[in-house]
Structure formats: C-alpha cells, structure tokens
Amino acid sequence: MLVLTRRADESIVIMPAEGADSRMTLAELFANGPILITLLGGSGRRVKMGIEAPSHLAIRRKDE
C-alpha cells in the first residue's frame, strides 16, 4: 500500500508504470483487480490516503 498525504486542491495521478505495455486495454490493466483507495485519516485541510493498485500502474503526486 502506498500512503500519500494531500491537501485541499492537491491531486494524484494514476498512469501506466514505466515499462508497462502502452497497448494494454482497460480490461488488461484491471485484470488483477481494481484500484483501492482507503482514507486513513486527516487533520485540518490534509487527508492521508492509502492506495493499492496493480504493479503495472504508477501512482504519483501531481505537483504543479
């Protein structure tokens, strides 16, 4: 599980991981199951989330 903390108006990006076959269909991308996002807590304007996704998907903070 990847754990990220984001503030209000901040984002994450989910995309194929480096080295993943760019020709994979959506069915192939999610053949091992869905992406699971669990909110783990928060304080003020921040929230901590845990993200479980297939290894061929990359989850990154979207930094402006």
Amino acid at 21: D
pLDDT for 10 equals 92
Give the C-alpha separation, 38 to 40, whole Å: 6
- Note the pTM of the prediction, 2 decimals: 0.76
Lowest average pLDDT, out of 35-39, 42-46, 50-54, 60-64, goes to 60-64
Give the C-alpha separation, 53 to 12, whole Å: 13
Radius of gyration of the CA atoms of the chain, in A: 13
Q: Specify which of 15-19, 25-29, 38-42 reaches the highest per-range mean pLDDT.
A: 38-42
Residue 44's Cβ-count burial label (10 Å; 0-12, 13-18, 19+) is exposed
Taken in order of first residue, the domains within the chain and their CATH numbers are 2-62 (2.60.40.4380)
